Amino acid sequence: MSLLKNLSCHLILTLSLLTGADSADYYYIRRAKCTYSSPDFSDMTYIDSFYLNKRLFAKFNSTLRKFVGFNEIGMIVAESWNNGTFVQTERNGVDACKYLFESEASRFLDKVVKPKVKVSSVTRAGGNHPAVLMCSAYEFYPAHIKVSWLRDGKLMTSEITSTMEMANGDWYYQIHSELEYTPKSGEKISCVVEHASFHKPMIYDWDPSLLESDRIKIAIGSFGLVLGIIISAAGLIYYKKKLAGSVDIRRIQNIINLCTSSL
C-alpha cells in the first residue's frame, strides 16, 4: 500500500474514532506543492495540505517544519502527526523538491523566458499621493518572480501594493507592483526584479525625465487631435456651401428650362 493510501486510511480511521461516524461520510483529499523563486532553489518551500469535505483542516509547511491544524479535528490530528514519524517524512519533502527540480534543471533552463520590465508613472483617481510608480514585468516564464523597490539603494517595505503572477493565456505571465511616493529632489527610485532567467537580481531605475517626455507626447497628440477636428469642420462647412451652391444652380437651370419650354 502506498504512503498516500496508508495515510488516507489512517486519517479516516482517526476521524471515525474521534467522531464515532461512518468513514463513508467523509471526502478526503491531499495536495502537495513545491514553490521557489531563486534560480538556485535555495528558498524552496514544501507545503502539504489536507482537506476534509473540501475544507482545509491541517497543513504541513517546511518553513515551520510541523503540521498546523485549522479546526478542532485538525488540531488533534496535527498534534498526533507532529508527535509521530510522519512529520519527519514531511520534513524530507523539501529535499525531495530540490532533488526533483535540480535533476530537471537542464529542461527548465531551456524554457525560461526573461521578463520585459517597464517602470512608469501612473495617476490613480482620488489618490492622496502626487504620483504612483508602477513596475510591470511581462511575458516571462516560469511564473515564480519577486519584485521589490529601492529608495537610494535601501529596500522599501511600505507604501507598496503588488499583484500576484497572472497568466497571459499563452504560457507566459505578468506581474505589477505599485509604489506610492512623494518625489524628492535628487533621490533615486529603483525596481528590483528577481527571476529564474536572471543570474542576479536586475535593477531598473526610474527616470523622472520620462514623465516630462510623456507630457510632451500627450501635448503633441492633443494638438494633433484639435487640428484634425478643425480641418474636418472646415471641410464639412466648405462641402455644405458647395452643395448648397450646386442646388441653387440646378434650381435656376430648371426654371430656365421650364420657361423655355412654355414659349
Digit-coded pLDDT (tens) for 179-215 = 887 667 788 999 999 998 998 999 999 887 755 545 5
| Helix, strand or coil, per DSSP, at residue 8 | helix
What's the CATH code of the domain at 56?
3.10.320.10
Digit-coded pLDDT (tens) for 43-56 = 899 999 999 888 99
Residue 55 makes CB contacts below 8 A (sequence gap 6+) with 71
Q: Name the phi and psi angles at 48, rounded to 5.
A: -125, 115
The most confident of 109-113, 201-205, 206-210, 222-226, by mean pLDDT = 201-205
* pLDDT score at 248: 53
Digit-coded pLDDT (tens) for 142-185 = 888 999 999 898 998 877 887 778 887 667 899 999 988 766 77
DSSP designation for 236 = H
Q: Which domain holds residue 143?
A: 113-207
- Pick the range with the lowest mean pLDDT from 6-10, 43-47, 145-149, 222-226: 6-10
CB-count exposure of residue 66 (10 Å: 0-12, 13-18, 19+): middle
Last residue of one domain, picked from the residues 160, 191, 207: 207
With residue 31 as reference, give the H or E element that holds it: strand 28-35
86 against 208, higher pLDDT: 86
Sheet strands side by side (includes 55-61): 28-35, 45-52, 55-61, 66-69
* pLDDT score at 36: 81
Same domain, 27 and 75: yes
Cα four-point dihedral sign 145, 149, 153, 154:
negative
8 Å CB contact between 30 and 67: no
Same domain, 130 and 79: no
Mean pLDDT of 46-69: 93
What's the CATH code of the domain at 188?
2.60.40.10
Q: How far apart are the first and last CA of the chain?
A: 117
Same domain, 8 and 29: yes
- What integer best gives the mean pLDDT of the chain? 76
* pLDDT score at 17: 40
Last residue of one domain, picked from the residues 58, 92, 108: 108
Same domain, 12 and 93: yes
Same domain, 118 and 86: no
Total of domains in the chain = 3
* pLDDT for residue 234 is more than 70: no
Same domain, 30 and 82: yes
Same domain, 150 and 194: yes
Same domain, 139 and 214: no
Distance, C-alpha 246 to centroid of its chain: 62
* pLDDT score at 162: 78
Same domain, 224 and 261: yes
Q: What residues does 155 pair with on adjacent strands? A: 150
How far is the CA of 83 from the CAs of 76, 77, 165, in angstroms?
A: 11, 10, 37
Same domain, 42 and 123: no
Scan for cell 520585459, then name that residue.
116
Measured between alpha carbons, how far is 76 from 58 in angstroms, rounded to an integer?
10
Last residue of one domain, picked from the residues 207, 229, 245: 207
Same domain, 234 and 158: no
Same domain, 179 and 201: yes
Residue 203 makes CB contacts below 8 A (sequence gap 6+) with 150, 190, 191, 192
Mean pLDDT of 13-40: 66
* pLDDT for residue 8 is more than 80: no
